[in-house]
Every structure is written in C-alpha cells, then in structure tokens.
Amino acid sequence: MDHTTMPENPASTEKAAPATGKRNTYSGAFKAKVVSEFINKKGRLKELAEHYQLHPNQIKNWKSILLKRAVDILEDKRRSKA
C-alpha cells in the first residue's frame, strides 16, 4: 500500500488530502451524524472512528462542542429578553 496518500473518506466534504499537512473539512450534518451515533451507542468510539476514518479524539471533541452549545441550541427563541 502506498503510504504517501490517505485513503479516501467518502464522508468528507473534500477528497482526502495527501499527507502534506492539509486538513479535511467536514459538514455540520456529517459531524452531527457521527456524534449522534456515538451518543446513541450505535457503535463504540474506536469502531466509529475506524468506520469514518477519523481519530477518536475528533469525535470526542465534536461531542464536547455539541454539549457545550446545547443550551443555546435548545433555547426558546420566541421569548424576548427584557
């Protein structure tokens, strides 16, 4: 196997970048899907990371961001702040 390029990740919004230090970018929908599967225990962290070709820490970071912003996401916007 040629180790100069990473395997293609179909879930990424871009094709997998060669190992030149470029980062992959992922859509919010993809991040939500992965974190949802992790939270709902549809797979272990290691299994999900391998399936989606991500580092386990990346999934944990996305989960942490979601939980920190949960209050803002779930806030009732109809109530005006006086």
Q: Give the DSSP per-residue string, 17-61.
A: PBTTTPPP---HHHHHHHHHHHHTTSS-HHHHHHHHT--HHHHHH
The residue extents of the domains of the chain are 33-74
Q: Tell me, what's the pLDDT at 15?
A: 39
Show Cβ contacts of residue 15 under 8 Å, excluding neighbours closer than 6 positions. 8
pLDDT tier at 73 (50, 70, 90 boundaries)? confident
Residue 52 has pLDDT above 70, yes or no: yes
The DSSP H or E segment spanning 77 is none
Size (the chain), residues: 82
| Global confidence as pTM | 0.65
Determine contact, residues 10/23, Cβ cutoff 8 Å.
no
Q: Tell me, what's the pLDDT at 80?
A: 61
